[in-house]
Amino acid sequence: MQLAQLNIAQAKYSLDAPEIKEFVDNLARVNAIAEASDGFIWRLTGDGDDATDIQAFSNPNIIVNMSVWSSIDALKAFMFKTDHRNFMRKKQQWFERMENANYVLWWVEDGEQPSVDDGIVRLEHLRCYGESPYAFSLKIPFAI
């Protein structure tokens, strides 16, 4: 089994606004760090080399990111032990604070590439019912 993750963010500005330029300009670099990380398997991309053009919600300022990893530890190492961590520290400059969960984790079969719809269903499940093996967070990671 492999670990899938979906995270969403609501941008404070349109992606072509100067206020969010630093975020947009660093997407390729952060994605390259992910792809070079131990345990990285797959990430969602749209027409470009990122997923910012994928419109999954009615609000055009909500962007999605999805990836698959070999383990929870591999995902955590990327998130917290690479330059991605410094990037995350600036998210309040670019994104609205979300009251509900903005990311979800779940296990997929080896080689499976989940769809955005799969991730949204899991996120909504986490928001409605809390942590479970079906949909969870890093706070209560469910082992396989």
In a domain, residue 75? The reply is yes
Q: Identify the pLDDT of residue 144.
A: 75
In a domain, residue 45? The reply is yes
Question: In angstroms, rounded to a whole number, what is the distance separating the alpha carbons of residues 105 and 126?
Answer: 9
Residue 129: φ, ψ to 5°:
-115, -5
In a domain, residue 119? The reply is yes
Instruction: Tell me the pLDDT tens digit for each residue of 9-30.
Output: 999 999 999 999 999 999 999 9
**Model pTM?**
0.92
Average pLDDT over the chain, rounded to an integer: 94
Question: In angstroms, rounded to a whole number, what is the distance separating the alpha carbons of residues 52 and 60?
Answer: 10
In a domain, residue 55? The reply is yes
Question: In angstroms, rounded to a whole number, what is the distance separating the alpha carbons of residues 83 and 9?
Answer: 19
Instruction: Decide if pLDDT at 87 tops 90.
Output: no
Non-local (6+) Cβ contacts of 42 within 8 A are 67, 68, 113
Host domain of residue 29: 2-129
In a domain, residue 139? The reply is no
In a domain, residue 140? The reply is no
In a domain, residue 136? The reply is no
Instruction: Tell me the pLDDT tens digit for each residue of 25-78.
Output: 999 999 999 999 999 999 999 988 889 999 999 999 999 999 999 999 999 999
Please give the tally of structural domains in the chain. Answer: 1
In a domain, residue 70? The reply is yes
Non-local (6+) Cβ contacts of 136 within 8 A are 104, 105, 106, 126, 142
CATH code for the domain of 121: 3.30.70.100
